[in-house]
Amino acid sequence: MGKKTYKENRFIIVSEIENPGGLKVGLIQLNRPDALNALNIPLLYEVMYAYEAFDEDNDIGCIVITGSQKAFAAGADIKEMAEISTVEMYFRDKFAVWDRIRRIKKPIIAAVSGYALGGGNELVMNCDMIVAAENSKFGQPEINLGIIPGAGGTQRLTRAIGKAKSMEAILTGKIYTAKEMYELGLITKVVSNDTYLDDAVALAKEVANKPAVAVRLAKECILKSFDTTIEGGIEFERKNFYLLFASEDKVEGMNAFIEKRKPVWKHK
Ligand code: DAK
């Protein structure tokens, strides 16, 4: 896939994928195999820094995050959490790392295989599209540990699959297959176990081939729909639409159509 090592990390592997004719794809692979990619705090910081580095890099158009065949991530690190008291949790506020993960502006695609549980599923739901291998298993089993989802699970799952099924998932800890979650609307597509990463990267390249300013504003508008009224959201969309008329790619896109040629995006 034309990957190259980006920088040294302990729990993740970061690389870039060339995409001739478009912007590159940034790839983050969770790599903590002995713990099924359980999300300890250092791993989450590495993911956050990698996301932010890609977000600031003008050569990157789309980000893919993946795990291993066996597990995207089996949740937050239970052994780490078992040691933390309420007061320590509150004062250290290490989980605030999730707030920065939430603010990434470029599109992120999750390439999931195996377990995406608890915080793992929350990291997946923070992504903008989800490509899942047939063998994937999704769930919020926190209830079995005496806790509840803490990184947006109660909110994002409910918005994605509705109250009735979200209640079932979170109150019983049930694990769902990729097919079930696809039918419930959480997942963009279910693909073969052998090709899930290539399929996710192909989708990322497709997005990275589009004009970057419009892509970014489109993501912003879609996410806005989750925390505003329809009136406010439509106004937000219209202002961003007007804003795009100041972009070089709006001129290029429309001229290319009129001149019956392919546009050459400047991502400006
Ligand atoms: N944490 C730590 N280690 C884990 C782990 C986890 N979540 N999941 C698996 N591991 C470790 C196992 O302990 C085992 O390590 P060793 O015993 O070999 O040292 C190794 O990974 C292999 O796991 P298993 O032997 O259990 O493998 P199996 O194939 O038999 O079972 C499994 C796979 C995924 C069914 C099982 O490992 C499992 O049930 N794992 C736990 C799943 C779970 O309950 N996940 C939810 C965790 S709670 C917050 C943000 C987020 C969160 C909370 C707050 N804030 C922002 C405030 C999130 C909370 C959670 O995710």
- Catalytic residue, from 38, 74, 132, 142: name it: 142
Confidence tier at 7 by pLDDT (50, 70, 90) = low
Pocket test for ligand 1, best of 32, 34, 36 (most atoms within 8 A of CB): 36
Please state the three-class secondary structure of the chain as a single string.
CCEEECCCCCCEEEEEECCCCCCEEEEEEECCHHHCCCECHHHHHHHHHHHHHHHHCCCEEEEEEECCCCEEECCECHHHHHCCCHHHHHHHCHHHHHHHHHCCCCCEEEEECCEEECHHHHHHHCCCEEEEECCCEEECHHHHHCCCCCCCHHHHHHHHHCHHHHHHHHHHCCEEEHHHHHHHCCCCEEECCCCHHHHHHHHHHHHHCCCHHHHHHHHHHHHHCCCCCHHHHHHHHHHHHHHHCCCHHHHHHHHHHHCCCCCCCCCC
pLDDT tens column, 62-112:
999 999 999 999 999 999 999 988 998 888 887 889 999 999 999 999 999
Q: Whose CA is nearest to atom 11 of ligand 1?
A: 35
pLDDT at 188: 98
Q: pTM for the whole thing?
A: 0.96
Give the number of the atom of ligand 1 that is nearest the alpha carbon of residue 140: 46
pLDDT at 110: 99
Mean pLDDT of all residues belonging to the chain = 95
